[in-house]
Amino acid sequence: MDLMKTIKGSLLEDFFPAGWDLKKIDRCCSNPPEKILERQKWWHKDFQPIMCQTLEEFDTKMGHEIAKEISDAAKEKRKLILILPVGPMGMYKWAVYFLKQWNVSCKHVYGFNMDEWSDSKGNTLPPNNPGAFQNAMEQAFYGPLGELTVPPGQRNFATKKVLPTYPEKISKLKDQDAKLVVIFGIGRVFHIAFWEPHFAAEFKNIEEWKKQQYRLGAKLHPLTIEQNAITSFKSRTTLVPCFANTIGPGIFLKADKIIGGCDGALGRGMMWQGMSLWVTLRYGPDIWVPSSFMPTLPGKLFFLKELAGPLIAECN
| 37 lies in some domain | no
Confidence of residue 315 (pLDDT cuts 50, 70, 90): low
How far apart CA 206 and CA 310 sit, in angstroms, is 33
Q: Is 75 exposed, middle or buried (0-12, 13-18, 19+ CB in 10 A)?
A: exposed
How far apart CA 7 and CA 13 sit, in angstroms, is 5
CATH code at position 80: 3.40.50.1360
| 271 lies in some domain | yes
Range in 18-32, 41-55, 219-233, 301-315 with the lowest mean pLDDT = 301-315
**What is the tens place of the pLDDT at every residue in 217-250?**
999 999 999 999 999 999 999 999 999 999 999 9
| 74 lies in some domain | yes
Confidence of residue 313 (pLDDT cuts 50, 70, 90): confident
State yes or no: pLDDT of 146 exceeds 90.
yes
pLDDT at 13: 97
Q: How many domains does the chain have?
A: 1
| 84 lies in some domain | yes
How far apart CA 70 and CA 178 sit, in angstroms, is 12
pLDDT at 316: 58
SS3 112: strand
pLDDT at 25: 98
pLDDT at 250: 98
| 28 lies in some domain | no
Range of the domain at 175: 48-308
| 122 lies in some domain | yes
Strand 257-262 versus strand 299-304 pairing type: parallel
| 182 lies in some domain | yes
**3-class DSSP string for 50-83:** EEECCHHHHHHHHHHHHHHHHHHHHHCCCCEEEE
| 131 lies in some domain | yes
pLDDT at 34: 97
**What is the tens place of the pLDDT at every residue in 78-131?**
999 999 999 999 999 999 999 999 999 999 999 999 999 999 999 999 999 999
Answer for the pair 195, 163: CB distance below 8 angstroms, yes or no. Answer: no
User: What's the whole-number mean pLDDT along residues 128-145?
Assistant: 96
